[in-house]
Amino acid sequence: MNETIGYFKRKELSLQHGINNASTITPLKIEYGDRDTIENSDDVVQPISAAMIFTPQKILTIEKFPDNISLESPELGKVITYIGGHVDAEDETGNNIQTFRNTVLREVLEETEIALNQTDLITQDPIIIYAPSEPKTAKHFVALWPAFIPREIKVEDGDARKVWTYRDKSEIADIPNLTEWSEVLVDFLSAKTKHDEEYYNKLRELIINKRQKVLSTKATHL
């Protein structure tokens, strides 16, 4: 049976290169079709729903070996700071934001066996990233959720062709081979860009508050 994935009609989207507000996609309808057909079409854009997983001190990253990934993939030879995948019809709710939430919780569980709850997603809405600098990425955008877990959970997906690493947050911005989506997000979170200062400050405050809450909870149990 062929895989079915979600997509938007390109003519209905209005995405800028870099960070976009979630309001740009909330009124649109997600449609579904055969993956091979959708992947080969230039008239549609596929949403990827993903999470950037934080612990109090680190960020979970992944690297994929060549035999685990297409040679045409923009993730080849790169460090990836998010986990996620395509929207499936089973995730559909009639509300795009909730549908993306369902997708990211399912994908993270499938990829890592980390069972995120909706309350682990730091922001109410995802960060929409579009980076159409390559033919492959021009056909996708990512709805990305910063997510917080209180401690490192070892990923044992049984696939030796992937390397999962918890990296110190202070080192992320200096990694030379991040994927473009990761670069946009890291620049945004480290305030290297000023795309939307009010939105950035709100997001940063949410992350800091979540971290302090986790550290406070840990201290009371010592």
Segment 98-156, tens digit of pLDDT? 999 999 999 999 999 999 999 889 888 998 999 988 888 899 999 999 898 989 998 87
Please report the domains of the chain, with CATH numbers, ordered by start residue: 4-220 (3.90.79.10)
Question: Could you tell me the pTM of the whole model?
Answer: 0.82
DSSP states of 123-163 as a string? SSSPEEEE-TTSHHHHTEEEEEEEEE-SS------S-TTEE
Q: Are 100 and 49 in contact (CB under 8 A)?
A: yes
CA 13 vs. chain centroid, Å, equals 19
114 vs 38: CA distance, rounded Å: 29
Mean pLDDT on 159-170: 81
User: Which of the pair, 196 or 37, is modelled with greater confidence?
Assistant: 37
Q: Are 111 and 83 in contact (CB under 8 A)?
A: yes
- Quick one: tokens of 85? 């995948």
CA distance to 35, 36, 102, 129, per residue, from 106 (Å) = 18, 22, 6, 20
What is residue 94's predicted lDDT score, i.e. its pLDDT? Answer: 94
What is the 8-class DSSP label of residue 79?
B
Nearest to 35 by CA among 63, 1, 61: 1
- Chain-wide mean pLDDT for the chain? 83
β-partners of residue 6 are 32
Nearest to 80 by CA among 7, 197, 178: 178
pLDDT tier for residue 7 given thresholds of 50, 70 and 90: very high
CA 165 vs. chain centroid, Å, equals 16
180-212 per-position pLDDT tens digit: 888 887 777 665 444 455 655 666 566 656 555
Alpha helices in the chain (DSSP H): 35-39, 96-112, 135-138, 169-172, 180-189, 197-220
